[in-house]
Structure 1
Amino acid sequence: MPLLIGSRNRERAEQVASAHGHAEGVIIDPHADDLGLGDRSIAAVAVLYTDERLASLRYAHARGIPHLGISTGLYEVAPEIAIHMQRPDAAAVVLGYEWLVGATTVATLTAAKAYARVDSIRIGALVDEEDWGGPAVAEDFERFASVTSTVLARRDGAFVWRKGDDAAFTFRAIDGTELMASGFSSIDIAGLAAVTGAADVEFGIGTGVSSSRRAGGTKSTEIIIELSGIDEAGKPLRSRHAVFHPGGAAPLTALGIGMVLERLAGLDGKPPTSSGLFFPYQVVDHANYLERLAQEGGQLMTLQSA
């Protein structure tokens, strides 16, 4: 399928496009109703930076084209949902703001299959200090930090806003190293609470040296997932898991984006996703996701409980 790579910099867009077959670099005009694309036939749209004007969503929604956004903060979703609510039958809209576009939720829901009841979910994302990405990522985190000083969590069945010392916690990396994390208002919290019914859900990001680099290798990305609840026999159960990708955060994010776009446009041989409002974990096939993760050298690991 032909791919249009839009950018604020034509030279950079064309450079990226030249490395791929059937790709073309284009400049997107957020002030134009057609984004500057004219009457091109588009199967799906993914916006990978913060689009304050919601230009890409308005473009896609007006034309009945599926849309995926990945950079909106939890507290910023209302304008996007409002657009969808005006014509909920227009096309699929995916709120792709989960950490690394589905990596956390797909893995957590897979691990949660061993539970009859999930009571607690604690997630710690380790970002290698050499793996913070480019200017768009920096802009997102700067905006998140400036807008709110509190972070979302679920405690004892209630959604609460934490701040200061109450927003911090520790978790252990894949190799057992203890890390300090800062609470993060990831939309994963809302989605996982809704699916599992867990009374306690919290999410934090820790920056440091990834387990692979500490072992003498290159940087990687890892997400630690701690679950507790009741098993099928009614006995207490605790488990600890990790999502690992040897390439870092960017290729793991790209895996989620690619699989969501395939599903939205029906590029996997199945009918395109019907209209509606979705999280990534509701769109992609979980088993297929984990297979593709393994093909890239990553994995969902079961770790020794702390």
Structure 2
Amino acid sequence: MPSIQHPVLIIGGSGVVGVQAAAAIRRLHPSLPVTIAGRDLGKAQAVAERLGVEALAADLSRPDLGLPSDALFSAVIVFVKDDWSHALRFAQRHGIPHLSVSSGAFEIGIEAARFIHAPQAAPVVLTSQWLAGAALFPTLEYAKAFRSIETLHVGVLLDEQDMGGQAALTDYERITQSGSATLTLKDGRFVWIAGEEATARYRSVDGVELPATAYGPLDVLSLATATDAKNIRFDLAFDVSASRRAGEPFSTESVIAIEGVLQSGERGTRRYEVVHPRGQAPLTALGVALATERALGLAGGEALKAGLYFPDGIIDPAYYVGRMKEFGATFTEVKANG
């Protein structure tokens, strides 16, 4: 395992998820240095002191990010929307991995264009799947039971009390309101849906049905590439979680339904439920930590070379799911038929 001398820079690291991501990285790799950065230096310092890491002021509107000219880092993680793409360019100039978590499927052209113009500069990891992969990787692991897949449907529930900080709310509003339609896959064709076609019903893990709508993280692109499924749809319910209906604290849920031909040769449908009792933040933090350790070569292989990556192309689903269980997620299979 390589020894990393320079810290991982977490921009937005004093936010709800950023704090937990820093903590997850430290839990997985206690010797890996971390620097928390944000516009509010006092807030960053308070978080850094609690975690035993460093803090810096950062400003995404500046090409140098407002950082000291002699500061060196091993990777850059961005937990807020970088409207200028300055953090990516900063990472490319320094030849270090860049990880982002805030882009919808309709927005990745910005990052892709920056990579295309400098393909040898740095590893660029697009980590904007739902909760940084918390629904994607279980789906990929469960898909191994199928010889071929006709339909993949992922429904997720974000509790109304579990939005997190202002940055997360801004991302949610931008992705749900700015894009005119949501990407799905129908009969092998990528289709953008809107209006009535985008509405759905989500059946929670306690059987309660809730209103939902098609949502546009990067999961559809990752799943389409990895599984060759003919139909893929991702729906989001923003409502009350089953745990809170039962009088407990909010949780977060993913319900995965897969229809196709099983490895046995029989047709079948399977339904799987993934729940974390402390909501979305621990899973998002873990996903970012796992992508970071992989990019730096601390787990799963050598450090990434310059390239454009989805996390599912560089992390083994079984390893990811195993880590999710270690961090408190529960997994349940409900056989539908077959």
Whether TM exceeds 0.5 here: the answer is yes
| TM-aligned CA deviation for residue 270 of structure 1 | 4.5
Secondary structure, aligned partner of 1:15: helix
Structure 2: gaps of 5 or more residues: 1-31
Residue 59 of structure 2 is matched in structure 1 by 29
Cα offset, 1:3, TM superposition: 0.8
Kept in 1: contact 2:176–2:215 (CA 8 A): no
- Hey, what does 2:88 align to over in structure 1? 57
Residue 160 (structure 2) pairs with residue 136 (structure 1): no
Q: Which stretch has the larger CA shift, 75-84 or 263-272?
A: 263-272
Residues matched between the structures, number: 305
Task: Determine if contact 1:118/1:197 at 8 Å carries over to the other structure.
Answer: yes
Residue-by-residue CA offset, 1:69-108 (whole Å, 9 max, x unaligned): 0001211111211111122222211111100001111110
Greater CA drift, 27-36 or 128-137: 27-36
| Contact preservation (8 Å) 1:174, 1:303 | no
Q: Note closer, same or farther for the CA distance 1:305–1:95 as it changes in structure 2 (3 Å cut).
A: same
- 2:161 and 2:250 in contact (8 A); partners too: yes
Whole-angstrom CA distance in 1 between matches of 2:56 and 2:332: 40
Structure 1 distance, partners of 2:315, 2:300, is 13
Query: How many angstroms does 1:39 deviate by?
Result: 2.2
2:311 corresponds to: 280
Q: Determine helix, strand or coil for the equivalent of 1:19.
A: helix
Partner of 1:302: 333
What's the offset of the Cα at 1:300?
Answer: 2.8
1:188 to 219, 223, 227: 219
- The residue type paired with residue 69 of structure 2 is G
1:17 is aligned with what amino acid? A
Unaligned runs of 5+ in 1: none
Alignment of 1:86 with 2:128, yes or no, is: no
Hey, what's the Cα distance between the residues in 1 that align with 2:61 and 2:167?
20
Report the counterpart of residue 74 of structure 1 in structure 2: 105
Stretch moving more, 47-56 or 243-252: 243-252
Q: What's the CA shift for 1:266?
A: 2.2
Following superposition, the deviation at residue 238 of structure 1 comes to 0.5
Please report how far the alpha carbon of residue 31 of structure 1 lies from its aligned counterpart in structure 2 after TM superposition. 4.3
Shift of 1:164: 1.3
* Structure 2 equivalent of residue 255 of structure 1: 286
Could you tell me which of 125, 137, 151 is aligned with 1:120? 151
What secondary structure does 1:305 align onto?
strand
**Aligned residue among 136, 155, 164 for 2:186:** 155
Mapped to 2, the partners of 1:185 and 1:31 lie a distance apart of 26
* Cα shift at 1:57: 0.3
> Equivalents in 2 of 1:109, 1:289: separation in Å?
10
The farther-off stretch of 223-232 and 207-216 is: 207-216
**Which residue of the partner structure matches residue 200 of structure 1?**
231
The superposition leaves residues 174-221 of structure 1 with CA deviations (integer Å, 9 ceiling, x where unpaired) of 122112211112211111011111111011110222122222321111
Q: 1:243 aligns with which of 271, 274, 278?
A: 274
Contact 1:28 1:37 survives alignment (8 Å): no
> C-alpha separation between the residues in 2 aligned to 1:203 and 1:99?
10
After superposition, the C-alpha distances for 1:44-67 in whole angstroms (9 at most, x for unaligned) are 111001000011100001211101
Q: Distance in 2 between matches of 1:14 and 1:171?
A: 41
Moved more, 173-182 or 285-294: 285-294
Matched residue SS, 2:135? helix
Cα 1:58–1:195 change in 2 (3 A) is: same
Paired residue secondary structure (1:171): strand
**Structure-1 separation of matches of 2:176 and 2:201:** 20
Which amino acid in structure 2 is aligned with residue 274 of structure 1?
A: K
Maintained 8 Å contact 1:290/1:300: no
Q: Give distance in 2, aligned partners of 1:127 and 1:16.
A: 25
Distance 1:204 1:287 in 2: 24
Distance in 2 between the 1:294 and 1:197 partners? 27
The code of the aligned residue for 1:27 comes to: A
Shift in Å, 1:25: 1.6
Quick one: which amino acid aligns to residue 225 of structure 2? A
